[in-house]
Amino acid sequence: MKIGNLEIKPTAALAPMAGVADSAFRCICKEFGAAYMVGEMASAKGMHYSARKTRDLLGFCPQERPIAVQLFGDEPEILAEAARKALEFQPDAIDINMGCPAPKIAGNGGGSALMKNPVLAGKITEAVAKAVDLPVTVKFRKGWDDEHVNAVEFAKIMEQSGAAALTVHGRTREQFYSPPVDLDIIAAVKAAVSIPVIGNGDCVDLESVINMYDYTKCDLVMIGRGALGSPWLFRRIDRYFSDGLLLPDPPLEEKMQVMLRHIRLICENKGEHRGMREARKHAAWYMKGMRGAPAFRKQSGELCTYADAERLAQAVLEKNA
C-alpha cells in the first residue's frame, strides 16, 4: 500500500504508544518485521516553546524507517510550525493524533477532543499538509461517545483537508480500550474515502489481524498492545502474508534473549538508571504465559540494573525448563 509516495508492505504496523513505543521498542519490532511505525506523540505547543523532552520524542534510528512522527495539539498554526520543525528529523510522514483519550490530552482540546470539532480538525490537517512536503496522516476514533459517532463524516473532512491516509481506532473516546473494537465503523470509513485506511484496535494475534483485513477491507493493520512482550508477532504476520507459513511462538530461550536485547537498547538510549526503570513494565509483559508469571512480574517491577534483568531471565528459564 502507499501513503503518498511512501510504499509500505501490507502486513502490520506498530502503533504509537506513549511511554512504551520508544526507539528501543520500535527497533525490536522492526527487526521482527513491522512494516511501518509511528513515533510517540509529541506536543506541538511543547515544540513551539522548544521543550527538549518533546524534541526527544521525535528522534529515531535509520533502521526504523518507514516512520512517521506524531504531533498533537489544537491550534492549526502551532501544529503547522511543529510539523516544519519536525522536518529536521527527516521522518517519512507526519501523523496528527486526533484519537488519544487521555484526560490530560483530550481535556486540553487535543487528541480525541478534536472529534467534537471536525471543522477545527480539518483546519489543522489542512495547515499541516500545506506546511510540509510529506504525507500527512490522521489517527482518530469512532467518535467521542455512543451519542456522537462521527468517524465517517470526520474521515471525509480529513480527506478533503489533505490527509494522505487515515488510521481508525474502532472505539469511542468514552470507551478508551474496551469493549471489543467496532469493525463495522472501520469498514464504513474504508468505504467512504479513497485514501488508504489503517485499521486499529484488538489486533493481538495473527487471527485477529486476518479478521481485521477480511472484515474491514482496510489497507493496513496497526498493532498496539498486542505487541507488548510479543514483538515476534510481527514475524508471524509477515511470514503468513509472504508465504502462508504459520510460525509457532519462539522458544523460551529466544524470548528471553529478545527481552534482554530490548532492555540493553533502552539502557543504551537512556542510561541504565532511567532505562531500567522504564524496562520494568516491558519485562513484566515478556512474562506472559510463563510458569511462575505472577512472581516474575513482581520481580520485574523491582529491576534496578541490567544484571538484575539477566538474573530474571535465568530464573525464568530454570523455572520453565
State the Cα–Cα distance between residues 152 and 142, nearest whole angstrom: 8
What SS3 state is found at 14?
strand
State the Cα–Cα distance between residues 70 and 54, nearest whole angstrom: 11
- 137-166 in b/e form (b: 16+ CB < 10 A) is bbbbbbbbeeeebbbbebbbbbbebbbbbb
Q: Which are the contacts of 65, defined by CB distance < 8 A and separation ≥ 6?
A: 92
Assigned C-alpha cell, 160: 478533503
- Cα of first residue to Cα of last residue in the chain, in angstroms, is 43
By the 8 A CB rule, do 188 and 155 touch? no
Closest CA to 186 of 146, 234, 143: 143
By the 8 A CB rule, do 44 and 73 touch? yes
By the 8 A CB rule, do 173 and 144 touch? yes
State the Cα–Cα distance between residues 226 and 51, nearest whole angstrom: 31
Furthest-apart CA atoms within the chain: distance in Å: 59
By the 8 A CB rule, do 65 and 91 touch? no
Q: What is the DSSP letter of 177?
A: T
Q: Count the residues in the chain.
A: 321
In degrees to the nearest 10, what's the CA dihedral of 204, 279, 94, 32?
Answer: -50
By the 8 A CB rule, do 10 and 241 touch? yes
Active-site residue 100, yes or no? Answer: yes
Which is catalytic among the residues 100, 203, 218, 267? 100
Assigned C-alpha cell, 308: 538484575
The catalytic residue positions are 100
